[in-house]
Amino acid sequence: MRDYFKLVGMECGRDLRERLDRSLHILRDATLERYAEFSRTYTGDCPMLRPDGLCMLQRECGEDALSAVCRYYPRSPRTLRADECALSASCERVCEQLFEKTDRMRFVRIPLEFAYELPKRSDDMITRFYVPVRKLFVSALQNREYTVSGRLAFCEKLAAVLRDGFAARGISGIERALEECASLSPERAAGERDTSGFETAAYMLSRLAERYPIERYAAACAASEYGGMEKEFLKRFPGWEIMCEQVLVNHVFYDGFPFYGDLRYDIYHAFAALAALYAVWKVSSVCSLAGEGDINALVALTSELFRMAENSNFNIAALALLANGGVPEKSVILPLCAL
Note the residues at the interface with ligand SF4 (CB under 6 A).
46, 48-49, 55, 57-58, 66, 70
- Compute the least distance from the CB of residue 296 to ligand SF4, in Å: 18
How far, in Å, CA of 88 to CA of 252, rounded?
A: 11
End-to-end Cα spacing for the chain: 48
Residue at 248: amino acid letter = L
- Tell me the torsion sign for CA atoms 277, 278, 284, 285: positive
Provide, rounded to whole angstroms, the least separation between the CB of residue 115 and ligand SF4. 15
Q: How far is the CB of 73 from ligand SF4 (least distance, A)?
A: 9
Nearer to ligand SF4, 48 or 140 (CB): 48
Of 45 and 215, CB closest to ligand SF4: 45
- DSSP labels, 185-235: ---SS-----THHHHHHHHHHHHHTTTSS-HHHHHHHHT--HHHHHHHHHH
Least Cβ distance, residue 304 to ligand SF4 (angstroms): 18
Nearest to 85 by CA among 101, 96, 74: 74
CA-to-CA distance for 299 and 316, rounded, in angstroms? 25
Q: Which is nearer to ligand SF4, 8 or 167 (CB)?
A: 8
The closest alpha carbon to 240, from 286, 177, 305, belongs to: 286
Tell me the C-alpha distance between 246 and 306, whole Å: 13
CB of 42 vs ligand SF4, minimal distance in Å: 15
* Residue number with CB closer to ligand SF4 (49 or 219): 49
Nearer to ligand SF4, 114 or 168 (CB): 114
Residues 6+ apart with CB under 8 A from 19: 47, 48, 56
8 Å CB contact between 156 and 333: yes
Q: How far is the CB of 78 from ligand SF4 (least distance, A)?
A: 20
Least distance to ligand SF4, CB of residue 94, Å: 11
Nearest of 240, 238, 316, 239 to residue 277 by alpha carbon? 316
C-alpha dist (Å) from residue 298 to 59, 98, 158, 235, 240? 28, 12, 30, 14, 10
φ, ψ at 76 (rounded to 5°):
-140, 95
Closer to ligand SF4 at the Cβ: 24 or 279? 24
Looking at the Cβ atoms of 45 and 100, the one nearer to ligand SF4 is 45
Q: CB of 47: closest distance to ligand SF4 in angstroms?
A: 7
Of 94 and 162, CB closest to ligand SF4: 94
